[in-house]
Structure 1
């Protein structure tokens, strides 16, 4: 994987199964970060993620006998679809072991591509151990999701395409789970231009690569807790780790809370659905110094189920103050509700839920509780509405919002 010709060969091969994903410049992120920001939308691939690149290239390097035995892998979802798509292309059997926590959309799409899905364990590492057992029992050929040099070469085709479009790229942000994408992208990028900076981005609750780099060797986390399920890996790949050590310029860790507003930004500014692992690089943009650099954020996938999407949207609106709830104590007499509604309307707020609780106090004649959920433009608008209610002499306190 130290040879540029290898990456060029892989880039040509993966074009047989990938869609073009041209860079998308983001003026909105550019204004907010002080850099020129481009997005590499791998969420727009047929399988909804970049993983088909590494899977297809790896399977193309296997012998006919290795393919005919049948393929097996473990995956939280995106690599599963990549292997299923590649196996279908070659007309061979594919078995995919997925964690029981995998979003339903990833399971159904993997099965729709013809793969046999086995659910096992709560995290990737448990699923992979079961896949190894099945491979030994059934003689299947393992296609590792990240700890394989050929797989990493296929993923490195992402970097080749970035340089084709933007030779003057200064910084590439790449999500990290086990390290397959990061090792391929960073190695290919350094071969193209040793001066380019490649920075990995991990979820705070599953930062196994950061821990390994700090230790100087691969280490395993005791557990992982993150909504970025595609990067919830306990231990990075041993085979790709040396390439990470050599070519990655740093790691940014992102808390789950930052992924929620990042989802809203992508939907509102670019009309794109990006899954939580793919949003890591978007959230990381605000962690870079504002230096007017050409920055590319790789959006690794977009396979998010509708229920998760709905939850993230609601949490994002609440986090940004666009939906909030206040508790107002009012005397139980006519006109109180009208007064509140009028103040909210005068300040361009929109009431979306009311809850009138007559049993909040022992003496309801003295006061009853009115809980009002309100839609605002932003956090500043929310504060203006709350202040107006208080200026009217109302007993107002903000409480946990819900939709």
Structure 2
């Protein structure tokens, strides 16, 4: 296992390479949680994630002969970009195997640094096995995204920055996928300030580490499914479980709905673009997963490389959930003026139409009827209730979608 000296030496190697990302007080989150919440904005790191720290530290420690052989990694995206950046810096060849569903943003980010990208498998673990096959065939150096002591030491530098900037911390909440980030951070925290509670947070759709932590033995998942692709790890590595059992105080979980709400909150209230994995700590605070009253809590926003398509879905669903958007299917008599009569109702109650579609061909419709699908911009639940009431008074049949 690594020690504090390994992390401090990694910090020296990273000087002048990485960004010392800002730590900011989160007033709205703090007020809602009745605690002092600080955000470590690692989503603003070069390559958009903390993963650069570990990848760079690993390649920096390789010999020239090892670098000349080239490096291989399996990654959902952030480790890939960190490794590609580092390989370019040291002028060595890099091949990255990524799951087929990896967001295009992350694939393009890797290619931008000149690495070779191979898309293979439905999840990290399948990509990992393919990468291992490449290492055997081509005699390259494999750089593990989390189960490597040099990588773990690099990730631990994030904790050094936190401890150097904030005093009297009570809790740090860290995302867990494979466990590299929390292992490195907890090693530093428990050495420098052991009173700080280190809490890991997993996605409900990828909670093998939580199950293993609670049972104190390796329990892998059959499959993973979560919008937090950066922590979508199916299998627990025994080495990483040992780190977590030794250093972490508690492991909690948040589901995709809670993660999506946190992403939208950070976007709207803090003007921060954060990916699913990076938003898990905020999700835990927003949904009261731990005792927070009066405590000083630090949340690393571990990455910001979210796919634009996913972000658009989260925004649209968030608007519906917060009653700022309403989707209706209204049945009309298919004759001139019917649509105008309907839209007059929306005009009278100040509901702005942002999208409309007309269907008279559905087999579910009676002859002479038509369905109008309408998306409305609304001003909260009270406004939406007024819309429902006015439509019912006018005799319209409608459903919400």
d(CA) in 2 for partners of 1:265, 1:122: 30
**Structure-2 residue corresponding to 1:141:** 141
Distance 2:398 2:201 in 1: 38
Listed as ranges, the matches of 1:385-396 within 5 Å are 385-390=387-392, 392-396=393-397
- List aligned pairs for 1:324-363, cutoff 5 A: 324-330=326-332, 337-358=339-360, 361-362=365-366
Contact in 1 for aligned 2:331/2:398 (Cα 8 Å): no
Once the two structures are TM-superposed, the CA of residue 290 in structure 1 deviates from its matched residue by 4.3
Alignment of 1:114-193 (within 5 A): 114-193=114-193
> Structure 2 stretches of 5 or more lacking a match?
none
Map 1:259-338 onto structure 2 (within 5 A): 259-285=259-285, 286=287, 287-330=289-332, 337-338=339-340
Of 131-140 and 319-328, deviating more is 319-328
The TM-score, its normalising length taken from structure 2, stands at: 0.92
Q: Distance in 2 between matches of 1:113 and 1:354?
A: 43
Contact 2:41 2:301 (C-alpha < 8 Å) held by counterparts: yes
TM-score (normalizing by structure 1): 0.91
Cα gap change, 1:59 to 1:347, in 2 (>3 Å): same
- Aligned equivalents of 2:382, 2:295: Cα separation in 1: 30
Tell me: CA distance 1:333–1:231, structure 2 relative to 1, closer, same or farther (3 Å): same
Q: Is the 8 A contact 1:70 1:94 kept in 2?
A: yes
* Aligned-residue offset at 1:106: 1.1
RMSD: 2.1
> Is residue 261–residue 320 contact of structure 1 (8 Å, CA) maintained in 2?
no
CA gap 1:101/1:357 in 2 versus in 1, 3 angstroms: closer
Contact 1:183 1:241 in 2 (8 A): no
For residues 336 and 221 of structure 1, the distance between their equivalents in structure 2, rounded to whole angstroms, comes to 54
Relative to structure 1, the CA distance from residue 185 to residue 331 in structure 2 (aligned partners, 3 Å threshold; closer, same or farther) is same
* Residue correspondences, number: 397
Q: Secondary structure at the match of 2:374?
A: strand
Q: In terms of mean alpha carbon deviation, does 231-240 or 319-328 score higher? A: 319-328
Deviation, 1:294, is: 1.5
Q: In structure 2, how many angstroms separate the alpha carbons of the residues matched to 1:127 and 1:77?
A: 11
Contact 1:84 1:114 survives alignment (8 Å): yes
Deviation at 1:156, TM superposition (A): 0.9
Cα 1:362/1:202, change in 2 over 3 Å: same
**1:202 shift after superposition:** 0.9
2:237: which partner in 1?
Answer: 237
2:232 paired with 1:228: no
Instruction: State the alpha-carbon separation in 2 of the partners of residues 111 and 368 from structure 1.
Output: 49
Deviation at 1:279, TM superposition (A): 1.6
| Alpha-carbon spacing, 1:97–1:356, altered in 2? closer, same or farther (3 Å) | closer
Matching residue of 1:374: 376
Provide closer, same or farther for how the CA distance between residues 396 and 228 of structure 1 changes in structure 2, counting only shifts above 3 A: same
Which region of structure 1 is more displaced relative to structure 2, 73-82 or 166-175? 166-175
| 8 Å CA contact retained: 1:52, 1:83 | yes
Q: Please give the residue correspondences for 1:193-204 in structure 2 after superposition, counting only pairs within 5 Å.
A: 193-204=193-204
Q: Secondary structure at the match of 2:238?
A: coil
Match of 2:254 in 1: 254
C-alpha contact (below 8 Å) 1:175/1:277 kept by paired residues: yes
CA distance in 1, matches of 2:13, 2:397: 63
Bigger shift: 58-67 or 246-255?
58-67
Aligned to 2:80: 80
Alpha-carbon distance between aligned partners in 1 of 2:243 and 2:62, rounded to the nearest angstrom: 23
Judging changes above 3 Å, is the alpha-carbon distance between structure 1 residues 350 and 93 closer, same or farther for their aligned structure 2 residues? same
Query: Does the 8 Å CA contact 2:175/2:200 hold for their aligned counterparts?
Result: yes
CA distance in structure 2 between the aligned counterparts of 1:31 and 1:386, rounded to whole angstroms: 34
Of stretches 135-144 and 60-69 in structure 1, the one that deviates more from structure 2 is 60-69
* Distance in 1 (alpha carbons) for counterparts of 2:118 and 2:67: 20
- State whether residues 24 and 39 of structure 1, in contact with CA within 8 Å, keep that contact through their aligned partners in structure 2: yes
The CA deviation at 1:397 is 4.0
Distance between the aligned counterparts of 1:237 and 1:57, measured in 2?
Answer: 21
Partner of 1:17: 17
| Structure 1 segments unaligned to the other structure (5+ residues) | none
Cα distance in 2 for partners of 1:115, 1:138 equals 16
SS at match of 1:92: coil
Q: Distance in 1 between matches of 2:266 and 2:325?
A: 19
